[in-house]
Amino acid sequence: MRCSVVAVGTELLLGQIVDTNSSWLGERLAAAGIDSLFQVKVGDNLARIVSTLRATLADADAIIICGGLGPTHDDITREAIAQIMGVDLEMNDEVALVIEQMFTARGRRMPENNLRQAMVPVGAKIIEQRRGTAPGLICEVGKKVMYAVPGVPFELYEMFERAILPDLLARSGEASVIKSRVLRTWGDSESGLNERLVGVINELEKVGNPTLAFLASGWEGIKVRLTAKANTEDQAIELLDTWDAKVRGQVEDLVFGVDAQNMESVVLQKLREKKLTLGVAESVTGGLVAGRLTAVAGASDVFRGAIVSYDSEIKFDLLKVTHGPVVSESAAKEMAIGVRKTLGSDIGLALTGVAGPAEQDGVKVGTLCVGLALPNGDVRSTTFSLPYGREQMRQFSVISALNFLRQSL
């Protein structure tokens, strides 16, 4: 069973509303083992909607159409569906009565144009509306089917779970599960990862299941997504486990987390496991590291706090850094030692660098120096050359420093 998604609304094309419905539907369809080939957005133009529906339906067994079922003149999904079906629209008296009763119950006058929502293509089945006024539609076109649902997310979700998904599964005639696992990596480029995994990719191309894809995610790293299809969830998980191990065998410590994990949550968990606390001294990042750490619930059990030593005098006076250049590995080490002592933490992590726009004391823009003071007296440091662009460099600094800490732990 192949089911594509068409989101209707000029506001989506203008960027005034973000299309979260399509991503939600894609996730739910995959979980049910239903392939989703296309997700398309189209504006409120009858000819373009009809053309889009025809083209999409040609390559799919089913379409879910989101939006365009409201009461106003630009809500024309019903008209487009009727054209595809080759039928007229007709007033559904039961739907009209429900809409009228809803307005009466709320003590409000019903504008006459609300009855547009009771106009349905001849032969369409109604999906009863339980959260709003516009009903959903199930419209057969030969052996294929179009589902139309309101664009309001909580109305769409309820109709999908109650009526559309059971109907899709019944039409598919088979039960299957599609599951994905995202391995989150840091420390190599997309092309570099592809090179490391070429053997795994070639092997996967021969077996066809699971599939592997790369998702470049900026300062969140490169994601490696494995997607498996099987008859049961357990079988899908078994496939993912097998190929997860093969991927890790090639990229090793580059994988720092899975699915919803991020670098900060992984670092905090490692600190917990080792019963260690952390203090951070930030210069170039100006508090971004602390912000990312404290965004994770429960961080306070291992994260002691941070000192934003942006001004050099703070480094000298509070952290006892030796007077001189402040963007160097030696300065980063002293910052780490100083923050560990000042905050009474087991570990001190320090970041100093140049975000731009100009060089500082001959140090190039994009330079990050990280210092790390560990409980056993070991003090380490490293230097990164990060991408230009002030915000980009600062954000890359956060994950680079936390990854240095992760690997040291």
Distances (CA, A) of 315 to 70, 340, 363: 61, 13, 18
Contact in structure between 405 and 367 (CB atoms under 8 Å): no
* Banded pLDDT at 37 (limits 50, 70, 90): confident
**Tens digit of each residue's pLDDT (9 = 90 or more) over 334-357:** 999 999 999 999 999 999 999 989
Which has the minimum average pLDDT: 28-32, 168-172, 283-287, 292-296? 28-32
Show me where the domains of the chain are located: 3-172, 177-258, 263-408
pLDDT at 217: 85
pLDDT at 361: 86
pLDDT at 317: 96
Which CATH fold topology does 263-408 show?
Maf protein (3.90.950)
Residue 400, C-beta contacts closer than 8 angstroms, at least 6 positions apart: 186, 368, 370, 384, 386
* Banded pLDDT at 175 (limits 50, 70, 90): low
Distance CA 138, CA 112 (A): 25
List phi, psi (to 5°) of 127. -100, 110
With tokens 């067994």, the residue in question is 61
**Tens digit of each residue's pLDDT (9 = 90 or more) over 86-137:** 999 999 888 888 888 777 777 777 777 778 888 999 999 999 988 777 899 9
Assigned architecture for domain 177-258: 2-Layer Sandwich (3.30)
pLDDT at 304: 98
The whole-number average pLDDT for the span 30-50 is 91
Is residue 164 pLDDT above 90, yes or no?
yes
Distance CA 289, CA 343 (A): 16
pLDDT at 174: 67
Question: Which CATH class for the 3-172 domain?
Answer: alpha beta
Query: What is the SS3 string spanning the chain?
Result: CEEEEEEECHHHHCCCCCCHHHHHHHHHHHHCCCECCCEEEECCCHHHHHHHHHHHHHCCCEEEEECCCCCCCCCCHHHHHHHHHCCCEEECHHHHHHHHHHHHHCCCCCCHHHHHHHEEECCCEEECCCCCCCCEEEEEECCEEEEEECCCHHHHHHHHHHHHHHHHHHHHCCCCEEEEEEEEECCCCHHHHHHHCHHHHHHHHHHCCCEEEEEECHHHCEEEEEEEEECCHHHHHHHHHHHHHHHHHHHHHHEEEECCCCHHHHHHHHHHHCCCCEEEEECCCCCHHHHHHHCCCCHHHCEEEEEECCCHHHHHHCCCCCCCCCCCHHHHHHHHHHHHHHHCCCEEEEEEECCCCCCECCECCCEEEEEEECCCCCEEEEEEECCCCHHHHHHHHHHHHHHHHHHHC
Distance CA 290, CA 337 (A): 17
Q: What is the mean pLDDT of the chain?
A: 93
Which has the minimum average pLDDT: 31-35, 171-175, 373-377? 171-175
Q: Is the dihedral of CA 208, 189, 224, 36 positive or negative?
A: negative
pLDDT at 105: 75
List phi, psi (to 5°) of 159. -65, -40
Q: Specify the pTM.
A: 0.72
